Amino acid sequence: MEGRISTKLVLDGLCCSNCAMKIEQKVSELKEVSHTSLNFATKLLLIETEQENNQEELLKKVKKIVKDIEPDVVVKEYKSPRAKRVKAQVQVHGQIEEHGENGCSDGCCVGHEHGHAQNEHIQHEHTHGAEEHGHSHSHGEGGSLKKKIIKFGISAVIFAIAMIFDLPKFAGFGLFFISYLLSGGDVLLKAGKNILRGDVFDENFLMGIATIGAFVIGEFAEGVGVMLFYQVGEMFQDLAVSRSRKSIADLMDIRPDYANLIIDGSEKKVAPEEVDIGQLILVKPGEKVPLDGKVVEGTSMVDSSALTGESVPREVATGDSVLGGFINKNGVLTIEVLKDFEESTVSKILDLVQNASSRKAPTENFITKFARKYTPVVTITAALMAVLPPLILPGATFTEWIYRALIFLVISCPCALVISIPLGFFGGIGGASRHGVLIKGSNYLEALNYVDTVIFDKTGTLTKGVFKVTQMNTEKDISKEQLLEYAAYAESYSSHPIALSILKAYGREIDKEQLEDYEEISGHGIKVRLNDKVIYAGNAKLMEKEGIAYDKTDFLGTVVHIGINGAYAGNIIISDEVKEDSAKAMKELKEIGVKKLVMLTGDSKSVGEKIGKQLGLDEVHAELLPDQKVEQLEVLDKQKAEKGKLIFVGDGINDAPVLARADIGVAMGGLGSDAAIEAADVVLMTDEPSKLISAIKIAKKTHNIVWQNIIFALSIKAVFLILGAFGVANMWEAVFADVGVALIAVLNAMRAMKIK
């Protein structure tokens, strides 16, 4: 945004969703900050500030906030592939070795995958692909995972001994207490630090007070058992989050690892960032095309599915353009590089998907606000439950009602929603990108659920944008070949697109020496002598001017009438072909609930209306200038349903004003088009209008998954809160209502990444 600075930071080792929410809230409260967003899935913190602010001072404040909330998280500057050289070093053996520190400083990592460091901004800047899982809530204080597992194991053994053997009360209490400290010590320590900072209402406090309360009322076994159960649930939940993060990284596994640079006739394996425009690279079978360029030698089939979602490989040969991220299937290709890696399509796609979370959906914002209010309300209710019934109800005891209140506290953690909702939206965006649909934010993904009106540009959107001869109509004394030849000779001096399409259809060399008396009649056409024949080629006005009776049929396209020696010879129709799947796309849009389909075009009214009728559009507005398209969109916007959304679909180049004004601007045919990627809210990476159907269907399925989690989590918690209040549910069941529900919700959210 103009006048603002955007800063991106990676919170290395962030494993706690609730902490992420708190960090985002605290950073947003800084007076220097205009906007902030923290993506828990990718650990990326986006901060927007006014230009005059001191960035160094702001960074210090942000680091302090993070340190206070999550002491083990390391704040790093985000370095995208568009702004840095890779840390990889090219070795003598031609292999790229990634160097970097372990990205999980707090012991949240379960292992190392020694793979390529693709999509480093999801997998921490070329670390060894460490797969994080750790405690989403309690991280321990610098202990390694191995130590945590040992502590947990010893705690479980001691707990089992205390449960199995009939020990004296004091000895039993001692074993339970030791087991409790081993399993829940980190939770208590974290809760204590948070309380000192005035941050009371978090899951560490809730679990701490609930299990300590169990000890106070003499339920030693339940206090320890619940903490052990909680830790097991946390571990599985964190594994699920780790799986989802890895799935997102895999979805975006389109980043090329290296390029075979040709230098003085020999090849050298280098990082894609090291290749300059104009240099030649070699791409062998099975390798990814590392950079955008043009094929100068070789023929091959390439798989473009990672960028476009197209399942069928395409053939490329000398002169064809290719994009970084394509996979070469068989032949060897020599490619001239046309763009630096930082400006390549694959780099921009990675950045777009990575930064999509900065534009949050209303549902995400609602859950964030809800979580902030929900926990304090339930905690206060629990306190009242512990105190009031024993004072009011006959026979009620403090022990019984304190236990019920403790159950309330355990259930109140909103982790299931705080983790699963952002993961669901981010997974939906990642899944859409795999199908060749780039959605620039969760807000646009959610808005696609409420599409009421879709407005299409014509040329290049519903039609191919390429003029060609589509029909020839001749009189009985002349063949189509002769008609085309006469027209080609007549148009041979013209550079008009109509003339060029006729010359292309003719496809043979023109002997201009045979032409005499060439005359271009402004606004009418051309008159020329070819040997003993006078040829007239032009519009209906030319035929009328020369007194030639012509075919007045209303054809779909531009009509070039041909007259020979004063007699009508026939006509040639030049038209912009309708795309193969345009009609199918219009039909399916209606089927999924879109109420109105409209076309805005600068073309003639007759052409516009014929295409509109052919495709089954509701309205067609023709002969419009760019500013008139915006005016017409304003009119249509007022006619949509109250909560409905208006989409404009255009080529992303000439339609920028309309794309910006629509609720959702969709750029068609964004493959390799910088302007399209920059201009729109949604980019369809192929020229197929049907991709819009895919985008809407993905949005609807993601929406369903998100609301399944919301309804499921709140319903289960509500049931257990009621059961706990009436003394039916125990603390074990309460823990399931917390970590178990969160685990199920996260697993359900992962389905958004696999939407087809």
Choice among 257, 457, 576, 603 that is catalytic:
457
Domain boundary among 577, 596, 613: 577
Identify the CATH number of the domain in which residue 325 sits: 2.70.150.10
Is 351 contained in some domain? no
Predicted local distance difference test score (pLDDT) of residue 251: 57
**Could you tell me if residue 444 is inside a domain?**
no
Contact 327, 286 (CB under 8 A): yes
Model confidence pLDDT, tens digit, residues 634-691 = 999 999 988 899 999 987 556 778 888 899 999 887 665 666 677 788 988 887 899 9
**Where is average pLDDT lowest: 42-56, 79-93, 515-529, 730-744?**
79-93
Least Cα distance to 534 among 560, 564, 576 occurs for: 564
- Position 101 scores a pLDDT of 36
Provide the domain count of the chain: 2
Question: Does residue 699 or residue 127 have the better pLDDT?
Answer: 699
Rounded to an integer, the average pLDDT of 526-546 is 92
Output the six-digit token pair for 46: 């986006």
Higher pLDDT, 566 or 498: 566
Per residue in 149-201, pLDDT tens?
888 889 999 999 999 988 888 898 999 999 999 988 888 888 888 777 766 66
- Give the whole-angstrom CA distance, residue 118 versus residue 116: 6
Give the residue, 50 or 520, on which the prediction is more confident.
520
Residue 569 lies in a domain: yes
CATH number of the domain that 573 lies in? 3.40.1110.10
Flag the least confident range among 92-106, 391-405, 446-460, 548-562: 92-106
Q: Sorting pLDDT into bands at 50, 70 and 90, what band is 137?
A: very low
Q: Is residue 549 in a domain? A: yes
Share of the chain above pLDDT 90, in %: 30
pLDDT at 84 over 50: no
Domain contains 300: yes
Dihedral, CA atoms, 58, 64, 67, 73, nearest 10 degrees? Answer: 20
Q: How confident is the model at residue 299 (pLDDT cuts 50, 70, 90)?
A: very high
Confidence band of 722 (pLDDT split at 50, 70, 90): confident
Q: Does 371 have pLDDT greater than 50?
A: yes
pLDDT for residue 100: 35
* Amino acid 473: pLDDT: 94
| End position of a domain, from candidates 577, 600, 627 | 577
Is residue 457 annotated as a catalytic residue, yes or no? Answer: yes
The CA R_g of the chain, rounded to the nearest whole Å, is 33
* Residue 293 in domain: yes
Question: Does residue 347 form part of some domain?
Answer: no
Mean pLDDT of 698-702: 93
Rounded CA-CA distance 12/102 in Å is: 9
**pTM score of the predicted model:** 0.70
Q: Which pLDDT belongs to residue 91? A: 39
Dihedral through CA 425, CA 430, CA 432, CA 434, nearest 10? -170
For residues 353 and 384, the model is more confident at: 384
- Among residues 546, 577, 608, which one ends one of the domains? 577
CB within 8 Å of 267: residues ≥ 6 apart? 260, 261, 282
pLDDT tens-digit series, residues 329-355: 999 999 999 998 888 878 777 777 666
Domain hosting residue 559, numbered range: 465-577
Cα distance between residue 47 and residue 5, in whole Å: 8
Residue 13 lies in a domain: no
For position 74, what pLDDT does the model report?
Answer: 87
